[in-house]
Chains A and B, each alone.
Chain A
């Protein structure tokens, strides 16, 4: 096997970076039925990490535990070395279902401004920051004044991303964010995330069932498999920091990584952790 195991850290580009998120022995069971076997992984500052696994493997449960939306039954989550037991200020989440996660009674602008208001910003500065966040994801003042459901699916997910980014989170969690949009929109949104991560030095942990997406976006891919799910392996992706849909996905290294991750989640168990 030629998989780069990285038990102590990510690829060389990040070895000097601070630890943002750490899962220690994090596991979950529903009524004694184990869903996630205890797992350990770390996300470093400025990293884009994808957790990939087949549908039903427990990815959403894992992300909900990381976001502290539900308590894990074993282990613990640390954000910047602080143990997290309830949603914390530096962590934002983009939900899969944009059509249900945006307030239909509020304008796009109000939706994005709401978390800022909740964090104590004045009305005026929340508005300014919300408009700036919307501009980052490519939405103008006209879109800001509309209701979210008046926009296309891709645009709505952009609103959800802007809402999560508006408060400049330390860590951005994303739960299958592009699973409900068409392929073209998905590619657009993937590239949007690439650009945002680069420009804002974001730290992103994204959950997906799509191997191509995981490899395309990530610095490292955490591959889950089995029942209960465990970390099959963590794969470093050295495809450079500038990627694009056509050339990157056409690279032989891309195909190789893709096949490797595919093998891992299909259960031809590589090195298990």
Chain B
């Protein structure tokens, strides 16, 4: 049996070498660059540190974005799970609404930006709604599938043991659908990041998208690249946070899958 520590070291050795090689290659390859559009990595990282690695930079550039993302994703998660549960438990309604849902979800969220500007203006409200709209669909559709896929026998167990409506939802429906809800939420998270950046390019509330566009318009090219680096790191950290939450809540599912896998 290998220990956790040595497993972790193996993961680092297997997964980390390529990024390290690429960054080193970028560093030395760009060191003598005089191109306006492709500044040396050293100057990009300098701008990155200046723009992002201090409280003033974080407060004006990152916090507004996190707030939008949290609100938009939160609205999508809550409404997607609620509506998905209703549809999942009401097959007739689900069947009737399926074509409409398939059409609506095929519309890229960012394509609705002009309409949302007309309807809701260019302030935070519009951005939250746009993020929520775009990331709502994968959560909704996955919740519907998850709820419909809950073991039917468990509904009979709930009936025999006379669970109330709330207990049936909390002890049978949501846990049963949770693996799929998480799969939908993960897709929704990356969609919400895309819509976040696009929506921030209109209006002047600060945030990463606003900063990125402003840097480009002011020919602050290192800062522009620095914002791209910040965006990559943000997406990476969000994904890690998401996985940590998933590991805790879906612990049973992960262990059960591992067990099923090892029995095959």
Contact = CB atoms under 8 A, between A and B. Distances in A.
A87 B160 contact: yes
Interface string A222-252: 0000000000000000000000000000000
Interface of A: 67, 69, 87, 89, 91-93, 95, 97, 100-101, 103-106, 114-115, 117-119, 147, 149-150, 163, 167
B159 A87 contact: yes
Given A115-B161, A117-B167, A118-B162, A105 B175 contact: yes
A67 B175 CA distance: 26
DSSP class of B's interface residues: helix, strand, loop or mixed? helix
A67 B157 CA distance: 11
Contact of B171 (A101, A103, A163, A167): A103
Nearest to B166: A118
22 contacts: A69-B160, A87-B159, A87-B162, A91-B160, A92-B161, A95-B157, A100-B154, A101-B156, A104-B252, A104-B256, A105-B175, A105-B252, A106-B171, A106-B175, A115-B162, A117-B167, A118-B161, A118-B162, A118-B167, A147-B256, A149-B256, A163-B161
A101 B157 contact: yes
B169 interface: no
Contact of B156 (A69, A147, A167): A69
B161 A101 contact: no
A244 to B, nearest CB: 31
A116 to B, nearest CB: 9
A77 B157 CA distance: 20
Contacts of A163: 161
Contact of A147 (B154, B163, B164, B252): B252
Interface of B: 151, 153-154, 156-157, 159-164, 167, 171-172, 175-176, 178, 252-253, 255-256, 259
Contacts of B167: 114, 117-118
A120 to B, nearest CB: 10
Q: Nearest 10 CB-CB pairs, A to B? A: A115-B161, A105-B175, A105-B252, A100-B153, A118-B163, A93-B160, A87-B160, A101-B153, A100-B151, A118-B167
A26 B12 CA distance: 67
B153 A95 contact: yes
A36 B163 CA distance: 29
A89 B162 contact: yes
Contacts of B161: 87, 92, 114-115, 118-119, 163, 167
B171 to A, nearest CB: 6
